[in-house]
Amino acid sequence: MLLAFLDFYRAALVDRALELTDEELQVALPPSTLTLARLLGHMAMVERTWFLERFDGEAMPEPWASLDWDEDRDAEMTLAQTWSSEELFAEFERSIADSRVRVSNASSLDQLSVGTDRSGEQWSLRWIVVHMIEEYARHCGHADLIRESIDGDSLS
């Protein structure tokens, strides 16, 4: 059930960005700089952060590994703004596909992460999945508002 909810929100975020032009994916609601492209790029990186880096303990791949976080604390979003819609959706789908493989390879949702938090505690895969549902749900709300500002289509 948890994985079904996670997949639901992954699809919901993509749904908010479907059939938009590259320019429409860059529309923000001032004073925020958040766009659908920035949200998709952010979530692509968040997928890699939680499942690849924190859960499995692997190094972040490019294009995420060389981002300069000191220069730009929203570097993943800034990068996403440079991609075409094809590149954006492809990276998002690659990140999700990688996460799905890692979840399916886990012994159970009770399996603990390789990585730890600042206090040295590990996360269970169940905690990570629930956290990802929360992260997607929050950003789908942002995406609803942005999409409605573009074409008046309320997709909620």
pLDDT tens, 35-91?
999 999 999 999 999 999 999 999 999 999 999 999 999 999 999 999 999 999 999
The answer as to whether 25 is a domain residue is yes
The answer as to whether 146 is a domain residue is no
Query: What is the average pLDDT value for the chain, to the nearest integer?
Result: 96
The answer as to whether 39 is a domain residue is yes
The answer as to whether 155 is a domain residue is no
- Position 153 scores a pLDDT of 63
Are 49 and 117 in contact by the 8 Å Cβ rule? The answer is: no
The answer as to whether 148 is a domain residue is no
What is the average pLDDT across 109-124?
98
- Position 152 scores a pLDDT of 81
What is the average pLDDT across 113-137?
98
Domain that holds residue 95: 21-128
Concatenated DSSP letters of 125-150: HHHHHHHHHHHHHHHHHHHHHHHHHH
Element (H, E) at 112: strand 112-116
The answer as to whether 150 is a domain residue is no
pTM of the predicted model as reported, rounded to 2 decimal places = 0.94
From the list 3, 131, 111, the residue with the least C-alpha distance to 55 is 111
For 95-125, b where at least 16 C-beta lie within 10 A, e where not — what string? bbebbbebbeebeeeebebebeeeeeeebbb
* Residue 156 in this model has a pLDDT that exceeds 60: no
- Percentage of the chain beyond pLDDT 70 is 97
- Position 155 scores a pLDDT of 58
- Position 104 scores a pLDDT of 98
- Position 22 scores a pLDDT of 96
The answer as to whether 151 is a domain residue is no
From the list 4, 21, 29, the residue with the least C-alpha distance to 141 is 29
* Residue 24 in this model has a pLDDT that exceeds 80: yes
- Position 154 scores a pLDDT of 58
> Cα separation of 64 and 52, whole Å?
12
- Position 118 scores a pLDDT of 96
- Give the number of domains in the chain: 1
The answer as to whether 135 is a domain residue is no
